[in-house]
């Protein structure tokens, strides 16, 4: 089974964490919640769920995991300005490992410069940023482009989860 | 006195609208709230203020105004995907008229492609997007670069307003 990191900070979109997290766990994969620091209690922006980070991103590297999943909301803007988040994402990408993001999650991919030459989607409000980062933008429920999997909104979660599980199997 | 457009949609950062709006009015300039449609009641994300749009952006052009001011919050992501918002911003820029944005406001400038070769600032979470749009990023309370004025957060409002009023005088 795969080792899957969830990259989290407070104010993520609740269901974009909960739904993939439970599905990946249920499929038998090993999950780790990675944050800006260890032991940080992270509530979703809607306040319906809360998760505690298990390890600081400064203490992980691309060899430790097979994949990273990045929920949306406001969390990606807090994560993407952290040098270790960028380093960790680049390391996974250089090993061609799965990087999956939904809604604003792809903002981390922009900062890590892993979208050049890929096709991708996101919340429409950051569409132009993905294009400037070198992605070909598609308005589809899920876009799979080599190791990059992206979706637009909570409504796309079933398709997002389906493609993540397919990549991990 | 100058004709100043405020570009607004719901869920803007309350004070980033209220403070510049009242200062520009008090200085005697003519203000118009421009939105995605006319007569839309737009509440701030904190719910402390509400403004009603006076004209739809589809019905204005760069000749009608001397400046546009773009508050932050979530509103800029709704505005920047609108073709007329992009057209209007490009028109003002081509006439070298003031375009001022604070926090997430510069997201509209990215989509209108008016940042190439300029220096600018913003909320730090979108810093990398400004760089990809061709701006030289500066972490300062206000950055004036030809016709572009930008600031980072509500704390910077006094500096933001000061430079706007200087440009309009």
Tell me what pLDDT residue B110 has: 98
Q: What would the mean pLDDT of A46-65 be, rounded to a whole number? A: 98
- CA distance, residue B77 to nearest chain A CA (Å): 4
**Least CA distance to B113: which residue of chain A?**
A128
Could you read off the pLDDT of B98-154 as tens digits, one per residue? 999 999 999 999 999 999 999 999 999 999 999 999 999 999 999 999 999 999 999
Minimum Cα–Cα distance from A125: chain B residue: B77
Give the pLDDT band (50/70/90) at residue A83.
very high
Model pLDDT for residues B10-65, shown as the tens digit of each residue: 999 999 999 999 999 999 999 999 999 999 999 999 999 999 999 999 999 999 99
Instruction: Check if A104 is active-site.
Output: yes
Q: How far does Cα B8 stand from its chain's mean position?
A: 8
CA distance A98 to chain B (A): 22
Inter-chain Cβ pairs, chain A and chain B, closer than 8 A? 43
Contact indicator for A167, A157 with CB cutoff of 8 Å: no
- Is residue B34 within 8 Å of residue B55, measured between CB atoms? yes
The pLDDT of residue B3 is: 98
Q: What is the DSSP letter of B120?
A: E
CATH number at A3-168:
3.40.50.880
**What percentage of chain A has pLDDT greater than the value 70?**
100
Residue A93: which pLDDT band, with cuts at 50, 70 and 90?
Answer: very high
Q: From CA A76, how far away is CA B89, in angstroms rounded?
A: 27
Give the pLDDT score at B137. 98
The alpha carbon of A34 is separated from its chain's Cα centroid by a whole number of angstroms, namely 11
Q: Where are the beta strands (DSSP E) in chain B?
A: 3-7, 30-35, 41-43, 50-52, 55-56, 67-70, 98-102, 119-120, 136-137, 142-145, 148-151
The vertex-A95 CA angle with A22 and A66, nearest 5°, equals: 20
Inter-chain contact B133–A132, Cβ cutoff 8 Å? Answer: yes
In this structure, are residues A129 and B134 in contact, taking their beta carbons and an 8 Å threshold?
no
Find out whether B73 and B13 touch, Cβ atoms under 8 Å: yes
Partners of A99 in beta bridges: A68, A148
Could you report the per-residue pLDDT of A111-138, keeping only the tens digit for each? 999 999 999 999 999 999 999 999 999 9
Q: What is the pLDDT of residue B74?
A: 97
Task: List % helix, strand, coil for chain B (3-state, nearest 5).
Answer: 40, 25, 35
Mean pLDDT, rounded, for B76-91 = 98
Closest CA to A71 of A7, A10, A122, A114: A7
Q: How far does CA A47 lie from the centroid of its chain?
A: 20
- B124 vs A contacts (CB less than 8 Å): 81
* Average pLDDT value for chain B: 98
Residue A150 binned pLDDT confidence (cut-offs 50, 70, 90): very high
How much is the pLDDT for B121?
Answer: 98
Chain B residues inside the 8 Å CB shell of A74: 125
Q: What is the pLDDT of residue A74?
A: 97
Q: Which residue of B has its CA nearest to A76?
A: B125
For residues A24 and A168, the answer to whether their CB atoms sit within 8 Å is yes
Helix axes of A14-26 and A157-168: crossing angle, nearest 10 degrees: 40
Spatial contact of A70 and A100, defined as CB atoms under 8 Å apart: yes
pTM: 0.97
């Amino acid at each position: 089974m795969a080792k899957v990191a969830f990259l989290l900070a407070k104010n993520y979109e609740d269901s974009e964490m909960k739904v993939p997290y439970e599905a990946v766990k249920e499929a038998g994969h090993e999950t780790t919640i990675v944050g800006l620091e260890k032991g940080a209690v992270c509530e979703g922006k809607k306040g319906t769920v809360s998760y505690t980070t298990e390890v600081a991103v400064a203490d992980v590297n691309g060899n430790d995991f097979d994949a990273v999943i990045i929920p949306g909301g406001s969390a990606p803007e807090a994560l993407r300005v952290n040098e270790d988040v960028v380093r960790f994402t680049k390391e996974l990408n250089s090993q061609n490992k799965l990087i999956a993001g939904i809604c604003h999650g792809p903002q981390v991919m922009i900062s890590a410069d892993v979208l050049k030459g890929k096709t991708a989607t996101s919340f429409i409000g950051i569409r132009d940023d993905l294009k400037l980062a070198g992605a070909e933008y598609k308005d589809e429920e899920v876009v799979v482009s080599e190791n990059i999997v992206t979706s637009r909104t909570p409504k796309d979660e079933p398709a997002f989860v389906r493609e993540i599980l397919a990549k991990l199997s």
